[in-house]
Amino acid sequence: MLFVVDASSSVSLAEQIAVQVRSGVVSGDLKPGERLPPARDLAKSLRVNMHTVLRAYAELRNDEVIEMRQGRGAFVRKDAGAGLIHVTELAAQLMHEARKLGLTQSDIVRLIQRGGIR
């Protein structure tokens, strides 16, 4: 899978990498159990700091998209469901847009619980 980042984007480099991995899982380009590039190699090819890639991988691990195996690398979780990842991406987009409008996380939760805006 080819990774690309845009240093001029308002989205952090780590988030750009994480989004591409999620998209790869949703599209089927990344299969369950597939190994991701080593952080050092990906950082070198993208010309970013290795810690940027590690931050992306940590976010993906926390979101249960990948698993990290010490000394062996990062792998797409076997139970990483494309549907859940898609909903997670939509939620992230919702949060981003809502914050641009000045809404807080509490406002968004209330809207969701009410079933949206009427």
pLDDT per residue as tens digits for the range 16-56? 999 999 889 888 899 999 999 999 999 999 999 999 999 99
Question: Quick count: other Cβ atoms within 10 Å of Cβ 61?
Answer: 14
The domain spans of the chain are: 13-117
9 residue type, one letter: S
The CATH number fitting domain 13-117, selected from 3.40.710.10, 1.10.10.10, 3.40.190.80, 2.40.50.180: 1.10.10.10
Smallest CA-to-CA distance from 15 within 47, 45, 58 is with 58
More confident of the two residues 41 and 2: 41
The structure tokens listed for 99 are 């914050």
Q: Is 84 exposed, middle or buried (0-12, 13-18, 19+ CB in 10 A)?
A: middle
80 residue type, one letter: A
Share of the chain above pLDDT 70, in %: 93
Task: Record the pTM.
Answer: 0.71
The structure tokens listed for 44 are 């070198």
Distance in angstroms (rounded) separating the CA atoms of residues 4 and 64: 22
The alpha carbon of 101 is separated from its chain's Cα centroid by a whole number of angstroms, namely: 23
Question: Quick count: other Cβ atoms within 10 Å of Cβ 39?
Answer: 21
User: What's residue 73's pLDDT?
Assistant: 93
Distance in angstroms (rounded) separating the CA atoms of residues 71 and 10: 33
